[in-house]
Amino acid sequence: MIRMDNDGPFFLKKQSIKLKHLDRKGVSPVIAVILLVGITVVLVSLLYIMVSNMISESEFTPRGVLYFNSDPDIQNKYNGKFEGSVKLDKIEIVVTDASLGESIILDPDVETQKEITGGLNITFENINDNDKLDGPDVIVIEDGGVGDLIKIVYKSTGETSGWAKLN
């Protein structure tokens, strides 16, 4: 037997069941906006850091032209010039004596002369005293010979900014 009231069978009656936690709507809109702004700030910060590191690591090597002319008055003496501009503290002048197979490194920011024993001698003259290797400055090679190689090496990248071979 089915129990009946005035409204009909009990299972067809509307029952108002109140559950305590079903009335909530989720996260408040204010908190949602704060979370979205926070996540956006974090992602933009990470992207900025990544791009900044890529830019700072990809330092370029300045280029120039290095050339030498033999001194008509003194045998085996060559005067060189660098067409370009590079800060002295950023470079090394690497000279390889072809006859001995030895190399020397001159740091023009610290020293002005170096020599390979029994071989060539290199001198750097910063004519305009501006802490740069540029037009007026002179690189002098004494006791140099055909095939000696002179390179201007950019320290931070290890790449050559300019080079010349004596002939």
Cα separation, 164 vs 125, whole angstroms: 18
Checking if the pLDDT of 47 tops 80, the result is yes
Checking if the pLDDT of 37 tops 70, the result is yes
- The residue that leads in pLDDT, 14 or 113, is 113
- Model confidence pLDDT, tens digit, residues 59-99: 788 899 999 999 899 999 999 999 999 999 999 999 999 88
Domain limits at 83? 65-165
Contact 96, 102 (CB under 8 A): yes
Three-state SS sequence of 90-123: HEEEEEEECCCCEEEEECCCCCCEEECCCCCEEE
99 & 144 share domain: yes
Q: How confident is the model at residue 16 (pLDDT cuts 50, 70, 90)?
A: low
8 found inside a domain: no
31 & 73 share domain: no
101 & 36 share domain: no
6 found inside a domain: no
Side-chain-side CA neighbours of 118 within 13 Å: the count stands at 5
Q: How many domains does the chain have?
A: 2
Checking if the pLDDT of 13 tops 60, the result is no
| Number of C-beta neighbours around residue 65 at 10 A | 12
Q: Considering the chain, what percentage of its residues have pLDDT values greater than 70?
A: 82
Give the chain's mean pLDDT. 85
95 & 139 share domain: yes
- Closest Cα to residue 160, out of 82, 53, 56? 82
Checking if the pLDDT of 57 tops 70, the result is no
Q: Which helix (H) or strand (E) holds 129?
A: none
Determine the average pLDDT of the residues in 109-129.
Answer: 90
142 & 86 share domain: yes
134 & 96 share domain: yes
